[in-house]
Structure 1
Amino acid sequence: MTVTNIYKTPILTARETARYLRMHESTLDRWLATDDPLVHSVTPERRGWPRVPFVGVIEAYVLRALRELRMPMRDIRAAAAIAREEFDDPYALARQRIATDGVAVFVRLADEQLVHASSGQLAIREVLEEHLRYIEWDSEGGAQRLRLKQFPEFADVIIDPRFGWGSPVLGRSKVRVTDLVELWRAGEPIAGVAEEYDLDVNIVEDVLRFAA
């Protein structure tokens, strides 16, 4: 159940990615669709199958943080291009450096008025640092896992390509969120779902509330 290539192995559809990152699917489609995409994708094996690899999920997550600052699309594209050029890395948005040097780059862009954020520099730093703290990095500085902050912290719902083929799982048990939802939608009561997977009923209830 491990994804061995976070750059080439698709784990989510665009719709799933948008839903888990709480963004508009149409926005993500635009980021994926150009000749020079903001978010990397791969050709799906079949129409409607997953096309977003883990690195693309992280890129979309970082760019969504910029959208939260109400940055225009042209400015987001400029910020992504400059960050990639600055670090000489097409995957710069999914590297640990984006959490340190990258924040400084975005703040500098705002100061140079290449990127315009209505809330100013302080908001850029605060918003990006708040979002980036949910990413866990590996020893080589690549993104390793993303905690989905819309779920309660004690539930610890994560996207980690090492588990569940990249589908969101509970961090401690590695049970897929979709398995909980499907069992519940099949008619199993919440207590029964919790018992089936040996989970705390309160965790299951909260996960289902946010997932469904």
Structure 2
Amino acid sequence: MAIDIYSTPLLTAREAARHLRMPESTLDNWLAASKSGDPLVHAVTPERRGWPRVPFVGVIEAYVLRALRDLGMPLADIRKAAEIVRAEFDDPYALASRRIATDGVAVFVRLADDSLVHARDSQGAFREVLDGCLRYIEWSSDGSAKRLRLPQYPSEADVVIDPRFGWGAPVLERNKVKVDDLVALWRAGESIKQVADEYDLTESAVEDVLRLAA
């Protein structure tokens, strides 16, 4: 089955929140429509109550929003930036674009001519803008997000969310094994060495995954 990153529900809100290391209640609030009718994080209608409703684009939006909030960016400024992107580029998925950036002090929008404006007052910006939180997102040639590397995992473990593998669950980039499957094998009684041998990983990589996911 082909996965559409905008419309195929991959994860429940609880699963997405766990993978992104954030409170489920916070993600639920972000998934709700604002007074303007546009949510910051998009969801789709689940087939049944309790079934997945967060598509891959929603995972990316939630990751970027959480990164901006962790840097202390006001939610009002983030909403304003999203409104500018929607108006300028007719793109409802503003937080899953490469148009929003921050220098750790303010939120900026990158316009079509690559100039920057402050989200709060639309004034031009000249300081160097750091796209640190975006470095974990790999982009497709059409500008859409392709995969997300989960920053909590060390590079040796290299865990990603890639909609092409694991149906949205985190997988090891090296062999596309789901993190949950690795944890399940260890919980079934296999030693760290046995798990490492089974999935062709180093023991330290297995330990890193278990420390964060078990």
TM-aligned CA distance change 1:139 to 1:99, over 3 Å = farther
> After alignment, is 39-48 or 142-151 more displaced?
39-48
**Aligned pairs, number:** 202
Contact 1:84 1:93 in 2 (8 A): no
What is the match of residue 56 of structure 1? Answer: 58
| Structure 1 residues 202 and 156: CA distance shift in structure 2, 3 A | same
Look up the match of 2:4: 5
Q: After the TM superposition, which of the residue ranges 81-90 and 137-146 deviates more from structure 2?
A: 81-90
CA RMSD across the alignment: 2.7
Describe the SS at the equivalent of 2:190. Answer: coil
Q: Secondary structure at the match of 1:6?
A: coil
Q: Structure 2: give runs of 5+ residues left out of the alignment.
A: 103-107
Q: Quote the sequence identity (%).
A: 67
C-alpha separation between the residues in 1 aligned to 2:127 and 2:25? 29
Normalization by structure 1: what TM-score? Answer: 0.83
Question: Is 1:109 aligned with 2:118?
Answer: yes
Q: Deviations over 1:148-174 (max 9, x none)?
A: 010001211101111111211111111
Contact 1:40 1:56 in 2 (8 A): yes
Q: Which residue of 2 aligns with 1:142?
A: 144
Question: Where does the alignment leave 5 or more consecutive residues of structure 1 unmatched?
Answer: 115-120
| Equivalent position of 1:27 in the other structure | 26
Q: Does the 8 Å CA contact 1:3/1:161 hold for their aligned counterparts? A: no
Distance 2:141 2:118 in 1: 29
Give the TM-score of the pair, scaled to structure 2: 0.83
Look up the match of 1:41: 43
Partner of 2:15: 16
What letter is aligned with 1:196? E
Please give the alpha-carbon distance, in whole angstroms, between the structure 2 residues aligned to 1:3 and 1:211.
Answer: 28
Residue 30 of structure 1 aligns with an amino acid whose one-letter code is N
Letter in 2 for 1:109: H
CA displacement at 1:89 relative to structure 2? 0.7
Match of residue 88, structure 1, among 66, 87, 90: 90
CA distance in 2, matches of 1:171, 1:62: 21
For residue 145 of structure 1, give the secondary structure of its aligned residue in structure 2: strand
- Give the Cα–Cα distance (whole angstroms) in 1 for the partners of residues 86 and 20 of structure 2: 22
Shift of 1:3: 5.0
Question: What is aligned with 1:70?
Answer: 72
Q: Which has the higher contact order (CA 8 A, sep 6+)?
A: 1
